């Protein structure tokens, strides 16, 4: 096979002969067919046990062992929630929707696998889950030539040579992501150019329809990234002005045409006025004008418009100390709060910059109160080791979600806000830029599978801990060996902090090689136009974002604003993001900033070395191919972490002339 | 037309009615046909005057005005030299070869054009020239997909989609380069991959034969860059070991096949064991083994093997202070002196690094005494502004050629050595990496045409001054306006020193953005594997290449070696190349190194601004299209020179904390 089943391998647990299980399902849609198929496949693989379709409900009742997939009337658990009750050989999974039933089936199978040996016939277990977030989405940055922007797992499995791929792998993908609760997928890059502009044209409707159907059978909605300038580039018009009646008509007709051909489509994802992409600014219109125009067009079909807030001046003069890219999102979108249509969702990156290993949470969370919003995360490890380094991101996502925005209402965490609990919005949720590609293991690095799995699980149930998710993933992916569980858990849980330690310090970010964003280059973006500066000189480093500097701090609600603005209360891991300090500034550890830089870098690099050692202990305990694939990456990570450590430390050593107090090697 | 005639425009000088000129030519080869065509075309265009073929020599004698192209028996002026005598309406051009006659024709036409009005019928003029160098070559780094490595003038006019182009532009190219004395051209990139490996196969012989014929009719030999691993990649063998009998046989047969199909081929150009290219090191053989094996194969056909000396470790550890890339060429090739076959020529870059704006001359010049060698220059402005900045390189080439290597013999300059005057070698000369492409003006920047023109003229006659060459080029390209001559001469002559001033200081080189090599990035290569370091810290900068450092200095002949090793006698423009000094080191100007950096950068940027001003004075005086094309580039150069200035100065200001004594802006 060309691809792995990841955490859906259903490795044999036991094959004690047991009677068949009778299964009854009171609904017959395409999703329930997949639910039944999954159960049948899994019980056979896990226990060598047959599942036989019951004729009717009474047949199920009379059976010794049975499973009932029961579609119920709307109630407490919402559209996609499920209730499971397993009692000595009888298991009932109920939900309002077939999608909920499918989630219940995956939940049952997951929980069975987490037990070393489960006797289904004596098992007593119950679970009720309502997804934490309405939208649980993956954004793929796949280009239609088959490349993936910021892709680290091989080529696209959606596109090849400007055509759409429809094959078994697409189905396997839908099944994988559905099994962790993903319900929305945008398949093409937000930078929509060339053939991708034509996705909303007759050229592609046939295959899009097939994709949407495959996805739909797993409860997943297909979304398309669209080109805001489509009326010009596709329609041959002379404008894409959202307030021009002809443009509005063009989009309305286009939407009618799209949904007539691809009725299951979820809607559009839009990157506008961002890094060179067209948008409403071209026509002196607001982002609300732009988004609402599209929202009107898609509304008759239940379509959504997901509008990205990644809007900033990417042609900044590095000499300019006042302009601050961090402020751009808030400056651009806060004045529009309340102006967006109810089928528009603003998609906001977790931080104000761009997916660095550490950033403060964007002040738009806790700022916008009358707008549907979604959190945008990135599991593609663009700035976190590009799936050559292990970097388990779920602990970072947990921190972001539990961040209290100090908005006036009681439920004020990011998790509360994006789940719609705070403001009672129509729509909300979490999206992640996907880390998948055509590699056998889907994610390049074996252990990056934990990010794909974990993102889904966390968006479905934000109450889960990172450790719990890691444990689930390890058991389902690698089986039951205790040493495997122990070492892989350690590696995963240490990995994000380690990556932070050996890369850019104290929240300042960047310091990567331009374009590739891989490997250290301290001044790589320092004299460039991207608004990402550390401002290091021989005395100090950091950006003053208090009122005496760029004023970014004041975009936060109080008391956060004051907390960040005071270097004594600012979280130390964000010190250089908010403040410019001298290298001899003393941290809570009693060390200077410079000594802290030296220490954390040596520490982080040493930890990367232990990852390799821990992994080497697993040879023979897991699949040899998987072992070897990851082994190469761990070896590289060890070397590359040392490179990071030495470059960063030497840069500051050369700049300051100050020795490491432990006299370790600096160059 | 899709391309300009550059300096062969033959703009009308006068059209006073004059009788036709009778032309007699005592030879009938294809080159003389082109010589006659050129005369006919030029006299018509310049003076509206007809040239009529004389029946025989007495016909010419009897004519009022006549030109005699006379092929003579071998004598003093060698194979390619020519003698011209113009006396009151009669002009005799004589040479041993048709190529010499063609050069004579181009010389006559050039000199006619340099006069504002010449009355051919009363003109008295005589000239005798023997080319200074046997080989006068252009190396094109054109890839077969049509891209050009380090090309800044559009796509390739030799290749498109893995095919060879044969069209009028090829002929125009041959005419252009022949008119300045180029006699050898390698058309494909020295990094030979993919389809280019197959150039020496039946797939391409037909079109190669056509190219070689077109070139041959202008006295230009076609060379091909070959892949040292061709026996494996093309021949399907398991080795390319130059000492393996089967490999030697493969190449012998291959050469027989090549020359049978392309009899006019000049030979091979080889980049081996360099930046990832295969070579004899793979088989633990020497470069002499590799080159001689090929030389044996091509010898029966009069073929030459041009073997590049650009061999160094491109995977260096930046922490390693002892390994020195500058030493690699000498270390690799000096021990082999005397071991190369007589139809091998080593092609050596001017400096030990890679075409920086300033480098010392490679110690292989004045080192190797029993080996045929050629100087390799680069008119493609990879590190000198990429044909977006004006940078007239002929003054720099003049310095290189006049550099005294202090070898034991009397004629010890680089010019002496590569022309074979010093050691009496069989072969020698000068090659340049070409700056041409498919752009209308061939060279991207209008004024980069002066480098193409000048390189040819200088290799043909190394006694010419850079000013003289500039003057020739300006007059032929832009006509006679005095302001044009004055301003363009100023711009050209100031341009290389200005570029040096506003980029990396005092011979240290690099400080460019990795990969693109365009624009400032001081640490771009500092923590990388390429062996190109400035080692700047807060106290000082530079690489100690004396015996207390890497020992590179001792590769030079005495007294050069001692001169470079002493910071008091080392030429200041190379100070940081040879020495590590403190920023407060005092230069001959009385300024510190740091103040010198500040001063030269502000100065250089200001000069770039004057280029724009001087160019703007020419609007209306030259062709408007050409004016506009260059105007855009001058505007960019002004901005980009300021960027260089500010980045470099700010880098050092931040690192040292020392203010500019004139308090200009640092960031």
Q: Is the pLDDT of residue A598 over 90?
A: yes
Q: CA of A657: which chain B residue's CA is closest?
A: B538
* B656 vs A contacts (CB less than 8 Å): 538
Instruction: Give the C-alpha separation, A272 to B126, whole Å.
Output: 70
Q: Is the pLDDT of residue A336 over 70?
A: yes
- The contacts of residue B122 (CB under 8 Å, 6+ apart) are B88, B89
Burial call B577-594: b when 16+ CB within 10 Å, e when fewer: bbbbbebebeeeeebbbb
B225 within 8 A of B268, measured Cβ to Cβ = yes
Considering only CB atoms, B654 lies closest to which of A319, A537, A643, namely A537
CA distance B667 to chain A (A): 6
Cβ separation of B524 and A521 shorter than 8 Å?
yes
Q: CA of A643: which chain B residue's CA is closest?
A: B527
B360 within 8 A of B574, measured Cβ to Cβ = yes
> Chain B 459-518, CB below 8 Å of chain A: which residues?
513-514
Instruction: Give the C-alpha separation, B250 to B252, whole Å.
Output: 6
Nearest to B652 by CA among A192, A217, A402, A537: A537
- The contacts of residue A61 (CB under 8 Å, 6+ apart) are none
Average pLDDT of chain A, as a whole number: 97
Of B3 and A115, more confident: B3
Question: What does the pLDDT average to over B38-54?
Answer: 95
Q: What is the 3-state secondary structure (H, E, C) of B71-84?
A: ECCCCCCCCCCEEE
Return the biggest CA–CA distance within chain B.
82
Q: CA of A535: which chain B residue's CA is closest?
A: B654
DSSP-derived letter for residue B409 is: S
Cβ separation of B523 and A520 shorter than 8 Å?
no
Q: What is the pLDDT of residues B568-607, one digit of tens each?
A: 999 999 999 999 999 999 999 999 999 999 999 999 999 9
- Please name the residue ranges forming H helices in A133-199: 168-179
pLDDT of B45:
95
Instruction: Give the C-alpha separation, A483 to A641, whole Å.
Output: 25
> Quick one: CA torsion of B434, B439, B444, B449, rounded to 10 degrees?
60
Instruction: Give the C-alpha separation, A457 to A446, whole Å.
Output: 18
The one catalytic residue in A275, A566, A617, A625 is: A275
The tokens for B91 are 């002009």
Q: How many CB atoms lie within 10 A of CB B465?
A: 12
Q: What is the pLDDT of residues B273-296, one digit of tens each?
A: 988 889 999 999 999 999 999 999
* A538 vs B contacts (CB less than 8 Å): 538, 654-657
pLDDT of A115:
83
Cβ separation of A657 and B521 shorter than 8 Å?
no
Q: CA of A318: which chain B residue's CA is closest?
A: B667
Considering only CB atoms, B523 lies closest to which of A319, A522, A656, namely A522
* B651 contact A CB<8A: yes
* A315 contact B CB<8A: no
Cβ separation of A319 and B656 shorter than 8 Å?
no
How large a percentage of chain A has pLDDT more than 70?
A: 100
CA distance B578 to chain A (A): 20
* Residue A586, φ and ψ in degrees, nearest 5: -90, 130
pLDDT of A17:
78
* A650 contact B CB<8A: yes
CA distance B530 to chain A (A): 15
Q: Which residues does residue B304 pair with via DSSP β-bridges, in sequence order?
A: B267
Average pLDDT of chain B, as a whole number: 97
Distance of CA A128 to the CA centre of its chain: 24
User: Mutate which of B526, B536, B646 to test chain A, going by most A C-beta atoms within 10 A?
Assistant: B526
Nearest to B308 by CA among B322, B323, B294, B324: B294
Q: What is the pLDDT of residues B210-219, one digit of tens each?
A: 999 999 999 9
pLDDT of B54:
94
> Chain A 534-563, CB below 8 Å of chain B: which residues?
536-539
The one catalytic residue in A382, A446, A461, A500 is: A382
User: Mutate which of B315, B316, B317, B319 to test chain A, going by most A C-beta atoms within 10 A?
Assistant: B319
* B651 vs A contacts (CB less than 8 Å): 523, 527
Q: What is the pLDDT of residues B63-122, one digit of tens each?
A: 999 999 999 999 888 999 999 999 989 999 999 999 999 999 999 999 999 987 678 888
Instruction: Give the C-alpha separation, B125 to B139, whole Å.
Output: 35
pLDDT of B175:
98
Question: What does the pLDDT average to over A427-432?
Answer: 98
Q: Is the pLDDT of residue A520 over 70?
A: yes
* B539 vs A contacts (CB less than 8 Å): 657
A273 noted as active-site residue: no
Query: Long-range contacts made by residues A460-463, C-beta under 8 angstroms, separation at least 24?
Result: A460/A103, A460/A129, A460/A131, A460/A132, A460/A133, A460/A136, A460/A180, A460/A181, A461/A129, A461/A131, A461/A132, A461/A181, A462/A132, A462/A133, A462/A401, A462/A415, A462/A419, A463/A132
Query: Long-range contacts made by residues A236-240, C-beta under 8 angstroms, separation at least 24?
Result: A239/A283, A240/A278, A240/A282, A240/A283
* A524 vs B contacts (CB less than 8 Å): 521
A275 noted as active-site residue: yes
Please give the full DSSP string across A196-261, using - where no structure is assigned: GGGGGSTTTHHHHHHHHHHHHTTT-EEEEEE-TTHHHHTT--S---TT-HHHHHHHHHHHHHHHHH
Cβ separation of A538 and B654 shorter than 8 Å?
yes
A102 within 8 A of A178, measured Cβ to Cβ = yes
Q: CA of B541: which chain A residue's CA is closest?
A: A654
Instruction: Give the C-alpha separation, A111 to A208, whole Å.
Output: 34
Instruction: Give the C-alpha separation, A389 to A448, whole Å.
Output: 9
* B315 contact A CB<8A: no
* B521 vs A contacts (CB less than 8 Å): 523-524, 527
Q: Is the pLDDT of residue B19 over 70?
A: yes
Per mean pLDDT, which range of B50-64, B158-172, B341-355 is the poorest?
A: B50-64
Question: What does the pLDDT average to over B236-261?
Answer: 98
Outline where DSSP puts E strands in B245-371.
265-270, 304-308, 344-349
User: Mutate which of B517, B535, B538 to test chain A, going by most A C-beta atoms within 10 A?
Assistant: B538
> Quick one: CA torsion of A545, A547, A550, A551, rounded to 10 degrees?
90
Cβ separation of B513 and A514 shorter than 8 Å?
yes
ipTM of this complex: 0.91
CB pairs under 8 A between A and B: 55
Cβ separation of A650 and B524 shorter than 8 Å?
no
Question: What does the pLDDT average to over B453-481?
Answer: 97
Cβ separation of A318 and B513 shorter than 8 Å?
no
A165 within 8 A of A158, measured Cβ to Cβ = yes
Q: What is the pLDDT of residues B546-569, one digit of tens each?
A: 999 999 999 999 999 999 999 999
Instruction: Give the C-alpha separation, A343 to A292, whole Å.
Output: 8
Q: Is the pLDDT of residue A494 over 70?
A: yes
The tokens for B116 are 């504002």
Nearest to B611 by CA among B501, B498, B505: B498
pLDDT of A117:
66
Considering only CB atoms, B657 lies closest to which of A524, A539, A643, namely A539
The tokens for A46 are 């896990």
Please tell me whether residue B92 adopts helix, strand or coil conformation.
strand
Please tell me whether residue B399 adopts helix, strand or coil conformation.
helix
Cβ separation of B536 and A654 shorter than 8 Å?
yes
B559 preceded by a cis bond (ω within 30 of 0): yes
Q: What is the 3-state secondary structure (H, E, C) of A420-442?
A: CCCCCCCCEEEEEECCCCCCCCC
Instruction: Give the C-alpha separation, A161 to A165, whole Å.
Output: 10
Distance of CA B103 to the CA centre of its chain: 19
pLDDT of B16:
75
Q: CA of A651: which chain B residue's CA is closest?
A: B537
Q: What is the pLDDT of residues B144-201, one digit of tens each?
A: 999 999 999 999 999 999 999 999 999 999 999 999 999 999 999 999 999 999 999 9
What is the pTM (predicted TM-score) of this model? 0.94
- The contacts of residue B497 (CB under 8 Å, 6+ apart) are B395
Considering only CB atoms, B538 lies closest to which of A319, A524, A656, namely A656
* B657 contact A CB<8A: yes
Instruction: Give the C-alpha separation, B267 to B257, whole Å.
Output: 13
Of A253 and A15, more confident: A253
């Amino acid at each position: 096979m060309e691809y792995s089943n990841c955490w859906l391998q259903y490795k044999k647990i036991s094959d004690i002969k047991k009677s068949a299980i009778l299964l009854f399902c009171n609904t017959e849609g395409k999703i329930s067919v997949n639910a039944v198929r999954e159960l049948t496949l899994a019980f056979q693989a896990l226990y060598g046990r047959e599942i036989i379709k019951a004729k009717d409900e009474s047949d199920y009742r009379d059976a010794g062992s049975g499973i009932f997939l029961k579609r119920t009337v709307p109630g407490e658990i919402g559209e996609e929630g499920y209730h499971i009750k397993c009692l000595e050989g009888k298991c009932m999974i109920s939900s309002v929707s077939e999608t909920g039933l499918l989630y219940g089936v995956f939940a049952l199978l997951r929980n069975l696998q987490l037990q070393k040996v489960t006797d289904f016939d004596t098992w007593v277990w119950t679970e009720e889950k309502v997804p934490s977030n309405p939208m649980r989405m993956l954004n793929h940055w796949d280009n239609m030539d088959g490349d993936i922007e910021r892709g680290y797992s091989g080529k696209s499995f959606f596109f090849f040579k400007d055509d759409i791929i429809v094959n078994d792998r697409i189905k396997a993908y839908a099944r994988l992501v559905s099994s962790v609760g993903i319900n929305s997928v945008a398949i093409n890059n937000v930078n929509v150019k060339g053939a991708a502009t034509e996705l909303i044209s007759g050229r592609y409707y046939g295959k899009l329809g097939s994709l949407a159907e495959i996805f739909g059978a797993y409860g997943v909605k297909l979304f398309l990234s669209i080109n805001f300038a489509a009326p010009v580039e596709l329609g041959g018009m002379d404008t894409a002005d959202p307030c021009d009646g002809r443009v509005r008509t063009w989009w309305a007709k286009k939407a009618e045409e799209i949904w007539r051909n691809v009725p299951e489509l979820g809607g559009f994802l839009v990157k506008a006025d961002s890094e060179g992409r067209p948008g409403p600014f071209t026509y002196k219109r607001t982002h609300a004008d732009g988004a609402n125009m599209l929202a009107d067009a898609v509304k008759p079909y239940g379509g959504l418009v997901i509008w990205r807030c990644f809007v900033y001046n990417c042609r900044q003069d590095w000499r300019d100390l006042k302009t601050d890219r961090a402020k751009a999102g808030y400056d651009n979108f806060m004045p529009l709060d309340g102006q967006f249509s109810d089928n528009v969702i603003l998609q906001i990156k977790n931080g104000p910059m761009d997916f660095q290993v550490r950033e403060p949470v964007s002040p738009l969370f806790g700022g916008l109160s009358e707008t549907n919003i979604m959190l945008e995360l990135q599991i593609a490890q663009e700035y976190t080791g590009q799936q050559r380094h292990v970097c388990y991101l779920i602990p970072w996502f947990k921190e972001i979600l539990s961040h209290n925005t100090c908005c006036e209402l009681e439920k004020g965490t990011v998790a509360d806000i994006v789940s719609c609990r705070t403001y009672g919005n129509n729509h909300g949720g979490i999206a992640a830029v996907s880390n998948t590609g055509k590699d056998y293991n889907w994610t390049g690095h074996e252990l990056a599978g934990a990010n794909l799995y974990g993102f889904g699980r966390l968006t479905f149930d934000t109450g889960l801990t990172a450790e719990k998710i890691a444990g689930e993933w390890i058991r389902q992916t690698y089986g039951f060996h205790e040493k495997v569980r122990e070492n892989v858990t350690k590696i995963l849980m240490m990995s994000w902090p380690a990556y932070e330690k050996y890369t850019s310090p104290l929240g300042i970010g960047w310091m990567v090689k331009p374009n590739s964003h891989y490997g250290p280059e301290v001044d790589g973006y320092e004299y460039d136009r991207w608004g990402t500066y550390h401002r290091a000189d021989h005395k100090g480093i950091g950006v003053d974002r208090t009122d005496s500097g760029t004023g970014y701090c004041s975009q936060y609600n109080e008391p956060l604003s004051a907390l960040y603005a005071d270097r004594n209360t600012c979280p130390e891991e964000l010190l250089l993001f908010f403040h410019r300090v001298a290298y001899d500034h003393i941290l809570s550890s009693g060390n200077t900033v410079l000594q802290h830089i030296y220490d954390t870098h040596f520490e982080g690099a040493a930890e990367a070395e232990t990852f390799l050692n821990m992994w080497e202990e697993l040879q023979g305990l897991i699949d040899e191919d998987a072992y070897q694939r990851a082994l190469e990456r761990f070896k590289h990570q060890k070397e590359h972490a040392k490179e990071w450590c030495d470059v960063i430390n030497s840069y500051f050593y050369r700049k300051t002339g100050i020795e490491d107090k432990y006299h370790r090697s600096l160059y």
